[in-house]
A and B are shown apart, each in its own frame.
Chain A
Amino acid sequence: MMKHLRTLFLGTLLLGAVTTATAQAKKPTLMVVPSDNWCYQNGFILEYDNQGKMVKTPDYKRALQENSDLLLVISKINQLMTDRGFPLKNLESSLKTLESEAAEDNMSQSKSGGEVSESPTDKLKKVAKADIWMQLTWTVNEMGPKRSITFNLQGLDAYTDKQVAGASGTGPQSQTPELAILLEEAVLSQLDLFNGQLQKHFDDLFANGREVMLRIKKWDSFSGDLESEYGGEELSTQIENWVSANTVGGRFSLSDATENMMLFEQVRIPLYDATGKAVDTRGWAKGLQKHLKEAYQIEAKLVMKGLGQATIIVGEK
């Protein structure tokens, strides 16, 4: 009887462990957006004031409202990606969320004193939280009655803005009058190649962690600087030690360091923490913020840019 109970207990424990392991899995989310180039070519742009300088940015909302071909291509890619087990995040829904959160964002921006400015695209990245942006460009080539499509699909890592997958090419010339058919053919012929590269990127994520960027700054009000000694070492060394201990295989590159700032690039953070919870850049950088407070009683402010760039400003919150 006791033996049976013990087996049952062990079985339940094992099942629990398996369930927990399954629950850890968090798939990267993907979202299709038209490229800046396509938006400019088709006149879907808006301008915004970036600290006194007018900057052009793609107007995704108007592009979705006014271009049916774009909707068709997004829908086709979504259909094929869903078939591969990767339903896409909807750009339109993300834009609506962004609009509803705009007022809140403005408030938080003024609170941070405008230290880190974000473009509308950065804001969208934060709201959509899509790990990979599938950036889409196509042009229609015409030669007499024949037409062909030059199609370019780029997978951009939202954390680093690096291209992690891509497929491009010009399709066969055709007398088909419907652009939609040519576009569908282009998607069909390129998407498998794209997914092959995406698979390699995912393999790399599992092996080496997610790549992000960390910037350290100091407030003017901070009494010391990054060369001040804490725990027998310079503060910059202590920060570097923490980053080294909290990256996959200690992978990072300290590309710039002075007494006032540090810039860590190619920082590979783990996908999950020790408890199996998915880790994002903010959560990971919060760990450093907490470490500075607990170990050296240094208050610090954490500011995010997009999904993959964290800035910690030491001295105060």
Chain B
Amino acid sequence: MTPMRTTPTLTRALALVAFAALCAPAFAQGKKADKDTEQWRYEMEAVNTGSAGTYQLKVWSYSKNAAVATEQAKKNAVHGVIFRGFTGSGRVPGQNPLASSTNLEAEHADFFKAFFADGGKYMKFVQITNGGVVDPADRLKVGKEYKIGVIVSVDAANLRKDLEAAGIIKGLGNGF
């Protein structure tokens, strides 16, 4: 009996299917994480006053996949600085959102869709501190998912300038 031989094309197709099957959960998790961001499913608190124009924040994100939650923290942080603001913690004051209108996200839906896309422009204004190392106390299992607290630094000054230049938010001197 001769062993069953597969053609190179079939092998490649099988490999692709296997790869897709492996990636699918992570991809689905990423999509879900984006949805969570849109639905404000994250929490933020002030950690410290950074250097000129930056905010140091702890962002709590949710996902079944710890890596996705860690990565999504960056997106959530920028989202929060623009639309939500954050409360103070101890003696570090909170800040108001950059957006003065509560409907800003809907008014510029196309802009923000591209802005917050994976690898989008938001990445320019945020970085994870401590090389992304999460304190064990900030990694919580809540039901079937993780709640991960990541400390990030958001360059709010340049984020504001960028949104002002794009005509999304008003500058302090607008109208004069």
B176 pairs with A195, CB closer than 8 A: no
A84 pairs with B172, CB closer than 8 A: yes
A199 pairs with B49, CB closer than 8 A: no
A83 pairs with B175, CB closer than 8 A: no
> Which A residues lie within 8 Å of B51 (CB)?
188
Give residues of chain A (81-129) contacting chain B, Cβ–Cβ below 8 Å: 83-86
A86 pairs with B173, CB closer than 8 A: yes
A224 at interface (Cβ–Cβ under 8 A)? no
A27 pairs with B91, CB closer than 8 A: no
CB distance from B126 to the nearest CB of A (A): 17
Task: Digitize A195-209: 1 where CB-to-B-CB distance is under 8 Å, 0 elsewhere.
Answer: 110111010001000
Which of the residues B49, B53, B176 comes within 8 Å of A185, measured between beta carbons? B49
B93 at interface (Cβ–Cβ under 8 A)? yes
Given contacts A80-B52, A83-B157, A189-B49, contact A202 B175 (CB under 8 A): yes
Which of the residues B48, B156, B172 comes within 8 Å of A86, measured between beta carbons? B172
Task: Digitize A68-88: 1 where CB-to-B-CB distance is under 8 Å, 0 elsewhere.
Answer: 000000000000100111100
CB distance from B50 to the nearest CB of A (A): 8
B23 at interface (Cβ–Cβ under 8 A)? no
CB distance from B155 to the nearest CB of A (A): 13
**Cross-chain pair count, CB within 8 angstroms:** 58
Closest to A188 in B: B49
> Which A residues lie within 8 Å of B100 (CB)?
199-200
A163 at interface (Cβ–Cβ under 8 A)? no
> Which B residues lie within 8 Å of A173 (CB)?
91
CB distance from B100 to the nearest CB of A (A): 7
Q: Which of B48, B49, B50: most chain A CB closer than 10 A?
A: B49
CB distance from B82 to the nearest CB of A (A): 13
B131 at interface (Cβ–Cβ under 8 A)? no
Q: How large is the interface on A (under 10, 10 to 19, 20 to 34, 35 or more residues)?
A: 20 to 34
Per DSSP, chain B at the interface is loop
Count of chain B residues with a beta carbon within 8 Å of a chain A beta carbon:
22
How long is the Cα–Cα vector from A173 to B90 in the complex, in angstroms? Answer: 11
A56 at interface (Cβ–Cβ under 8 A)? no
> Which B residues lie within 8 Å of A17 (CB)?
none
A189 pairs with B92, CB closer than 8 A: yes
A170 at interface (Cβ–Cβ under 8 A)? yes
A26 pairs with B176, CB closer than 8 A: yes
How long is the Cα–Cα vector from A198 to B53 in the complex, in angstroms? Answer: 17
Closest to A206 in B: B175
A196 pairs with B175, CB closer than 8 A: no
> Which B residues lie within 8 Å of A185 (CB)?
49
A25-B176, A85-B173, A172-B90 known; 9 other A-B pairs, CB under 8 Å?
A85-B172, A169-B91, A192-B156, A193-B95, A195-B172, A196-B96, A199-B170, A202-B172, A202-B175
A sample of 29 inter-chain contacts (CB < 8 A) reads A25-B176, A80-B52, A80-B53, A84-B171, A84-B172, A84-B173, A85-B171, A85-B172, A169-B93, A170-B91, A171-B49, A171-B91, A172-B92, A173-B91, A188-B49, A188-B52, A188-B53, A189-B49, A189-B92, A192-B95, A193-B95, A193-B96, A195-B172, A198-B172, A199-B170, A199-B172, A202-B172, A202-B176, A206-B175
Q: 3 shortest A-B CB distances, which residue pairs?
A: A189-B49, A27-B176, A85-B173
* Interfacial residues, chain A to chain B (CB-CB below 8 A): 25-28, 80, 83-86, 148, 167, 169-173, 185, 188-190, 192-193, 195-196, 198-200, 202, 206
